[in-house]
Amino acid sequence: MSRAGGRWTAADVPDQAGRVAVVTGASGGIGLATAAVLAARGAEVVLACRDMAKASRAADWIRAMSTDATLGGGTARGGATDGAWPVSLRVVRLDLASLASVREAADEIRSGYPRLDLLINNAAVMLPPYQRTPDGFELTFGTNHLGHFALTGLLLDRLLAGRGARIVTVSSVSHWEGRMHFDDLQFERGYDGHQAYGQSKLANLLFSYELHARLTGLGSDTISLAAHPGVVRTELWRTSPFLGRAIISRWAGMINFWAVQDAPQGALPSLRAAVDRGACGGQYYGPSGRKQYRGYPVPVESSARSHDTADGRRLWDISERLTGVSYPLPRPTPVPASSGLA
């Protein structure tokens, strides 16, 4: 039972002592809020970030805030309220747009930890100008999907080494508008930032659900889940067009307050997927409110396209080829594509 009248909050995050969590994009926004709560509840947290200076400042902030009741629920080990849990943090450089960087980060994490309990694939770019990654991929697809696909595969043996590990991939309400452009995944025939972002967030869900199916086929107790934060005011909007930035700006707060929430609230679906003892593999968590824009985290529906198993397996095969990362998991028995919602 949650502690806020049935609403699941950061206070419901159980003791994470002894657990190791990797959070990508943890230097700001939702990733920072997620990492802060996990650290405050006793987890050893790896902040996997592109900007090391910013990540170091984030780590300092987490240490300073570790006794804040809004992060750790105001409770230390054993139920005491007058002490702070030791905060254990590590910063690892990870540029998801570069497969070389992904491999280097995975090697560093693997060398430090024989077992991982949580991997939260949180980092993303949104609506940047058209760019190519060092590996030649369109930046949004390369970062939001391919980078996380490669990182998860390279860390999978560490996630399988323990008991009950979880992989949480962060999607977006934008996935509802997303379509997989299998004939032009890199938008070489014309770039539209909104379509590229929607495709990447749909790819996140196709990946999460396909990974769940393959882990189930292995008989593993490691599970794959997905989450989305709703509409949140974070730095992710810094590359968006003027109208998008204006909609979430401070001066528009009196108009749009109903549709925009802060980063700690936006982190709750990821946290619930990561730690709620009642969560199951293949679930998708998001805000409970209208259009899933804001609210407290609950299991939510995703689009029919996100449950297309044929697309999920096609994307998986393409991703293995493009990244050069193969997973030691059995291929699920082919089944007709689902037209229902989760």
Catalytic residue IDs: 197
Ramachandran category for residue 5: left, alpha or beta (phi over 0 → left; psi -120 to 50 → alpha): left
Q: Are strands 284-287 and 88-93 parallel, antiparallel or unpaired?
A: unpaired
Cα–Cα distance for residue pair 317/326, rounded to 1 Å = 9
- What are the residues whose beta carbons fall under 8 Å from the beta carbon of 280, sequence distance 6 or more? 223, 225
Cα–Cα distance for residue pair 19/116, rounded to 1 Å = 7
How many whole angstroms from its chain centre is CA 298?
16
β-partners of residue 227 are 170, 285
Q: DSSP string covering 111-172, please?
A: HH-S--SEEEE-----SPPS-B-TTS-BHHHIIIIIIHHHHHHHHHHHHHHSSS-EEEEE--
Segment (H or E) for 323: helix 309-323
Instruction: Specify burial of residue 280 (Cβ count, 10 A radius: 0-12, 13-18, 19+).
Output: exposed
Phi then psi for residue 236, to 5 deg, are: -60, -25
* Cα angle: 280, vertex 316, 318; to 5 degrees: 165
How many other C-beta atoms can be found within 10 angstroms of the C-beta atom of residue 190? 8
Q: Are strands 297-299 and 284-287 parallel, antiparallel or unpaired?
A: antiparallel
